[in-house]
Amino acid sequence: MSYLEYTVKSVPVGLRKIFFLNWPLALLLASVCGIGFLMLYSVAGGSFTPWAEPQMKRFALGFVLMIAVAFVPIWLWRNLSGLAYGGSVVLLIAVELVGDSRKGSQRWIDLGFMDLQPSELMKITLVMFLAAYYDWLPAKKVSRPFWVFLPVVIIFLPTALVLKQPDLGTSILLLAAGGGLMFLAGVHWAYFTAVLAAGIGLITAVFQSRGTTWQLINDYQYRRIDTFLDPSAEPLGAGYHITQSKIALGSGGWTGRGFMQGTQSRLNFLPEKHTDFIFTTLAEEFGFIGGMSLLGLYALIILFCVATAVLNKDRFSSLLTLGIALNFFLFFAVNMSMVMGMAPVVGVPLPLVSYGGSAMLVLLLAFGLVQSAHIHRPR
Amino acid sequence: MRRNRAENDASHTRLTRRAALLGGAQLLFMGGLAARMRYLQVDQADQFRLLAEENRINIRLIPPARGEIFDRNGIRLAQNVPSYRIVMVREDAGDVDMVMDRLAAIITLDPEARERVVAEIKRSAPFLPVTIVDDVSWDDVSRVSVNAPALPGITPEVGLTRVYPRGPDFAHVVGRVGRVSQADLDALEDPDQVLRIPRFQIGKINVEAREEGLLRGTAGTKQVEVNATGRVMRELARREGESGKDLQLTVDAKLQSYVQARLTGESAAVVMIDCQNGDLVSLASAPSYDPNLFIGGISSKDYNPLLNSIYRPLVNKTVQGTYPPGSTFKMMTAMAALEAGLIGPDETVYCPGHLDVAGRRFHCWKRAGHGWVDLETSLKQSCDVYYYDLALKVGIENISAMANSFGLGIKHELALSSVAAGLTPTKAWKKANRGADWVIGDTVNSSIGQGFMLASPLQLAVMTARIASGREIIPRLIKSVDGVETDNAEIPLLSMNDNNLRKMRRAMYEVVNDRRGTAYRSRIIAEDMRMAGKTGTSQVRNITTAERARGVTSNNDLPWERRDHALFVSFAPYDNPRFAVSVLVEHGGGGSTAAAPIARDVLLQALAGGDPPLEAYPAGDRDRIQEQQEKLRALQPQAALDGKDQA
């Protein structure tokens, strides 16, 4: 439903907007970040450097930015969606050309004061643009082939660019978030069923063909898929991390070993103990109760987002909020599955907890959009 | 964009339905995550805890061996020796007090230290090893090993520690290491993980500190599997680190030990530099201190005397101390005038014993005056009035610029802590730093190296080497790194008239070898080792009128700390300069009596490569010198004399 049908009068203006912020959501986000600071302090061996302190500074900056974004009317953000999407795609192309190559992949642009990872930005702008698209598209056209094909292109363009970096984790996240938004917008079931069926069919075909005369891919590619699916096949490579991560988690027990008392996660066996594997430290030091608390906070954030989205009569706002929540969910779901040995190791951090500036800033900006949608909802 | 309200409501309903579906799916997945977490952390906890305890893999840093430091002939100046310590892991010990009791029964354990250790153990993480005793003997180590079954959690560990075999002789060159302090870590932007290893040593001063980057090396890692008692079961993987690079200094250890011995009882500094390539062959500051005392942390009983001594043993007088160069500066004033073409071939100045400038009387050191003096005589007899006169003609700016091109007032880059820049004053400098205008009296004072002028013994040695060689000698301390010679390019010539430099060298020759020269008593007889030099006396303070009235006219009547500093700069052999040396004796009185004899002994020692033949000395001095040589041999480390510690 469009804004023009409602009186804008009842929407709060000026600094009064601060009272209409979704404060419970903001506090939930802050508590998750707080858990992150504690863990970063702990993995550094009880020191604010090198991780906890910069992370706190970025959080302060991010929180202020979130409120700033929230103050800007949501219709303005909708009108900017196309520009944001286009800009992100340009940045993704730029990173190919001038990006800083770290750990063997091109992902970063050095902005001087911080490093920007355009693929992080892309996750949000893609959702924004799709939400704007479906807000504009009349409901009856949603499931027509041409109008389904268009968003598919919108999703595949950045996904391909990210895949080329190469960053498999983020491209899967982009694909999933884009698909999810199409689903929310009401694209007909048949499309999703068809894609799922085709996917399953293709995978079965590839596996069935192994060792036969009509083998579809090379042997070495099969071996790669094997280790990807079952890391324990390679105990000193990727499997090593998963095994160690499970030991660390498991040894936490109900209540954990106590703050700063973890042995497993602090013995440096994980190269990314302050980023991708930070959940192991939490689970080891605070046990099942600690892990569940974080999961509970995440669940509450998702619930709050879904609730505000459903109650919001503006179609763009609803779709955007749900899309951002989905993104957030995908983040921690993939990360937690990975450290618990349920999914292959792909480089996805734990949102708002793992050390990293780009991810945290972008997430807080995204929640700024959610807040803006909430403040400026039609009344 | 008006839309059908019914259609809108329909699409919103559909969105709500799908949102609920997707949200539900998300919650379901989170439920799955929670179940998995419960499975790992509750159902399987015992198994994993067992895995964690029994078979835990950890990665340990292997501290790199620090690079060693050698003298120019390969004599070890800083080396690593194994040191044993006994550590405890709380987790493995169980009852800490009981284990400590048992340990105390086997080895000597200071009750006070024990209390401190127990407190530290309780404070730190249970799995971290805490050192109970450091530097234990091999006997204690074997006793602990034999009783290992009764001492859970206790293990002897071996590490490397730094030892300086030459003790005090190289404290002011090699410097020392010490434990990594919080201040060390704070000073670094991104401290290397290896610095966090307990007991790791970091360079604190001088070469050890300045070349930390070369000496430290990089840590290796090993993955080890340890069992429930913390014992290493097996090593899984090992990545070797890189040990630090060995450094070779330009200093000659044998000569250095001799010089330190020669300076016994004085508060003095000697810098000897190779006139051909700038190698610092000796850099001695006396009194010195034993750097080995500092390695494990120095006790206040040892430290306070060092800190409070009026002879300041902790100060490196060779590079850190700056003094008015006194008459040794006269070569600079003379060169400035010569280069400006202000001294004619036979020009003379009349010295009546003083010069009146701007209503103030400046005295020559010789009250009676020198009469008519020319350039050579003025330097030989160190006539002050001659230089007052020159300075008035040539001006302070020229003099300071000349001093700079001879390396004064310039900070020489050396791998030593706190190298001083000294000071060659200019009008602008005085305006900026003293807030006052330059007055002509300042120029007069500067001409004889007094007033604001300040130089370190290192700078005076460089100045002398430049006069002697005519080249822009730059002091060098690091000879090679891991056997690779450091940059040793052709040294450019000074952009000065060679004739003028030759005149300077001739005049300095006269100072030592002419009967009326101020350093005649310290001449060298041997034809191929003739020395040229210049005496200097730098006033600590003027003798006051009141004191003069009381009959105080010479230094010997004053208390030690108010006497003048004695200075001497020289080079030898005169015809083909090999070494330049500067000697400073704090509060030693006159340069000719206190400093010149030291310079002569040191130069002869260097030229002869050991004790020189007595024939090099004037006949009258030989008995005394022989006695001195015997005394000094007793003071030097035995190894230094027979060169046994050569690597």
* B533-566: pLDDT as tens digits: 999 998 876 555 555 566 555 667 778 878 889 9
> In percent, how much of chain A has pLDDT > 70?
84
Q: Do B45 and A250 touch (CB under 8 A)?
A: yes
The label of the residue with tokens 């005392």 reads: B293
Q: How confident is the model at residue B267 (pLDDT cuts 50, 70, 90)?
A: very high
Alpha-carbon distances, residue B289 vs B166, B169, B458, B562, B583 (angstroms): 11, 8, 20, 24, 20
Q: Does A293 touch chain B (CB under 8 A)?
A: no
What pLDDT score was predicted for residue B144? 86
Min Cα distance B210 → chain A (Å) is 25
Q: Do B11 and A315 touch (CB under 8 A)?
A: yes
C-alpha torsion sign, points B222, B226, B230, B231: negative
Q: Does A97 touch chain B (CB under 8 A)?
A: no
Q: Do B56 and A264 touch (CB under 8 A)?
A: yes
Q: Do B48 and A249 touch (CB under 8 A)?
A: yes
Taking 70 as the threshold, does the pLDDT of residue B161 lie above it?
Answer: yes
Q: Does B16 touch chain A (CB under 8 A)?
A: yes
Alpha-carbon distances, residue B578 vs B290, B367, B501 (angstroms): 31, 37, 16
Q: Does A302 touch chain B (CB under 8 A)?
A: yes
Quick one: average pLDDT of A260-271? 59
CA distance A153 to A160: 10
Taking 80 as the threshold, does the pLDDT of residue B52 lie above it?
Answer: no
Q: Do B30 and A5 touch (CB under 8 A)?
A: no
Of A5, A251, A299, the CB nearest to B48: A251
What pLDDT score was predicted for residue B59? 66
Contacts of B209 (CB under 8 A, 6+ apart): B175, B202, B203, B417
Alpha-carbon distances, residue A265 vs A209, A270, B417 (angstroms): 41, 7, 41
- Residues from chain A that touch B31, judged by Cβ atoms under 8 A, are none
Residues 50-79 of B with CB under 8 A from A: 51-53, 56-59
What pLDDT score was predicted for residue B512? 95
Tokens of B97: 């007090």
Closest CA to B426 of B414, B268, B416, B408: B408
Q: What is the pLDDT of residues A134-193, one digit of tens each?
A: 999 888 888 888 998 999 999 999 999 888 877 777 888 899 999 999 999 888 888 889
| Residue B269 backbone dihedrals phi, psi, to 5 degrees | -140, 140
Tokens of B460: 């005076």
By C-alpha distance, the chain B residue nearest A323 is: B19
Q: How confident is the model at residue A46 (pLDDT cuts 50, 70, 90)?
A: confident
What pLDDT score was predicted for residue B170? 94
Q: What is the pLDDT of residues A282-318, one digit of tens each?
A: 888 888 999 999 999 999 999 999 999 988 888 899 9
Residues 194-213 of B with CB under 8 A from A: 196
Residues in chain B: 647
Quick one: average pLDDT of B417-443? 93
Of A249, A260, A295, the CB nearest to B40: A249
Taking 90 as the threshold, does the pLDDT of residue B569 lie above it?
Answer: yes
Q: Does A127 touch chain B (CB under 8 A)?
A: no
What pLDDT score was predicted for residue B226? 64
The count of CB pairs under 8 A between chains A and B is 143
- Domain limits for position A216: 3-375
Q: Does B350 touch chain A (CB under 8 A)?
A: no
What pLDDT score was predicted for residue A254? 84
Alpha-carbon distances, residue B606 vs B471, B525, B529, B593, B602 (angstroms): 21, 16, 11, 21, 6
Q: Do B51 and A247 touch (CB under 8 A)?
A: yes
Catalytically active residues of B are 327
Closest CA to B467 of B422, B516, B525, B507: B507
Identify the residue among A257, A273, A306, A313 best suited for mutation to test binding to B, counting B beta carbons within 10 A and taking the highest.
A306
Q: Do A318 and B12 touch (CB under 8 A)?
A: yes
Q: What is the pLDDT of residues A325-364, one digit of tens each?
A: 999 999 899 889 888 878 777 778 899 998 887 888 889 9
- Residues from chain A that touch B41, judged by Cβ atoms under 8 A, are 249-250, 252-254, 283, 287-288, 291
Closest CA to B598 of B550, B576, B566, B620: B566
Q: Do B59 and A268 touch (CB under 8 A)?
A: yes
Alpha-carbon distances, residue B476 vs B485, B602, B604 (angstroms): 12, 19, 22
What pLDDT score was predicted for residue A222? 73
CA distance B519 to B517: 6
Of B20, B40, B127, the CB nearest to A246: B40
Q: Which helix (H) or strand (E) holds A95?
A: helix A74-98
Q: What is the pLDDT of residues B63-92, one digit of tens each?
A: 888 999 999 999 999 999 888 888 887 777
Q: How many CA atoms lie within 13 A of B80 on its CB side?
A: 20
Q: How confident is the model at residue A66 (pLDDT cuts 50, 70, 90)?
A: very high
- Residues from chain A that touch B239, judged by Cβ atoms under 8 A, are none
What pLDDT score was predicted for residue B486? 82
Contacts of B455 (CB under 8 A, 6+ apart): B322, B323, B324, B325, B329, B408, B409, B422, B423, B449, B463
The label of the residue with tokens 């800490």 reads: B96
Residue A306 contacts residue A322 (beta carbons within 8 Å): yes
Q: Do B37 and A249 touch (CB under 8 A)?
A: yes
Of B37, B40, B196, the CB nearest to A292: B37
Contacts of B531 (CB under 8 A, 6+ apart): B512, B513, B522, B523, B524, B570, B571, B572, B573, B574, B599, B600, B603
Min Cα distance A74 → chain B (Å) is 17
Q: Do A183 and B18 touch (CB under 8 A)?
A: yes
DSSP A16-45: GHHHHS-HHHHHHHHHHHHHHHHHHHHHTT
Say whether the peptide bond before residue A50 is cis (omega within 30 degrees of 0).
yes
Alpha-carbon distances, residue B537 vs A5, B145, B378, B386 (angstroms): 99, 64, 16, 17
Q: What is the pLDDT of residues B500-538, one digit of tens each?
A: 999 999 999 999 999 999 999 999 999 999 999 999 998
Taking 90 as the threshold, does the pLDDT of residue B453 lie above it?
Answer: yes
By C-alpha distance, the chain B residue nearest A343 is: B33
- Residues from chain B that touch A295, judged by Cβ atoms under 8 A, are 30, 33-34, 37
Q: Do B58 and A183 touch (CB under 8 A)?
A: no
Q: Do B37 and A291 touch (CB under 8 A)?
A: yes
Total number of domains in chain A: 1
Q: Does A139 touch chain B (CB under 8 A)?
A: yes
Apex B111 CA angle, B106 and B114, nearest 5: 80
Output the average pLDDT for chain B. 87
Min Cα distance A210 → chain B (Å) is 32
Q: Does A148 touch chain B (CB under 8 A)?
A: no
CA distance A260 to A44: 10
CA distance B464 to B468: 6
Q: Do B10 and A292 touch (CB under 8 A)?
A: no
> In percent, how much of chain B has pLDDT > 70?
90
The label of the residue with tokens 């690597």 reads: B647
C-alpha Rg value of chain B to the nearest Å: 35
Identity (one letter) of the amino acid at B506?
Answer: R
Output the average pLDDT for chain A. 82
Alpha-carbon distances, residue B21 vs B25, B252, B310, B561, B574 (angstroms): 6, 84, 86, 92, 100
Of B10, B19, B23, the CB nearest to A139: B10
Other CB atoms within 10 A of residue A11 CB? 17
Orientation angle between helical segments B596-608 and B253-262, nearest 10 degrees: 160
Closest CA to B560 of B168, B172, B265: B265
Residue B414 contacts residue B407 (beta carbons within 8 Å): no
Any idea which of B11-25, B315-329, B365-379, B632-646 has the lowest mean pLDDT? B632-646
Min Cα distance B7 → chain A (Å) is 7
Taking 70 as the threshold, does the pLDDT of residue A3 lie above it?
Answer: no
Q: Do A264 and B52 touch (CB under 8 A)?
A: yes
By C-alpha distance, the chain B residue nearest A311 is: B16
Quick one: average pLDDT of B249-259? 94
The label of the residue with tokens 């153990």 reads: B121
What pLDDT score was predicted for residue A1? 45
Of B23, B48, B59, the CB nearest to A267: B59
- Residues from chain A that touch B18, judged by Cβ atoms under 8 A, are 183-184, 186
Global pTM reads: 0.61
Q: Which of the pair, A219 or A303, is modelled with greater confidence?
A: A303
Q: Which domains does chain B have, with CATH numbers?
A: 59-249 (3.90.1310.10), 253-302+309-642 (3.40.710.10)
Between the CA atoms of B412, B413, B417 and B420, what dihedral angle is there, to the nearest 10 degrees?
20
Tokens of B359: 């209503």
- Residues from chain A that touch B19, judged by Cβ atoms under 8 A, are 184, 306, 309-310, 318, 322
CA distance A272 to A269: 9
Apex A72 CA angle, A70 and A73, nearest 5: 105
CA distance A375 to A15: 12
Q: Do B42 and A254 touch (CB under 8 A)?
A: yes
Quick one: average pLDDT of B379-404? 94
Residue A38 contacts residue A343 (beta carbons within 8 Å): no
Residues 120-139 of B with CB under 8 A from A: 125-127
Q: Does A79 touch chain B (CB under 8 A)?
A: no
Q: What is the pLDDT of residues B279-310, one digit of tens each?
A: 999 999 989 999 998 887 788 888 899 989 98
Q: Does B34 touch chain A (CB under 8 A)?
A: yes
Q: How confident is the model at residue B9 (pLDDT cuts 50, 70, 90)?
A: confident
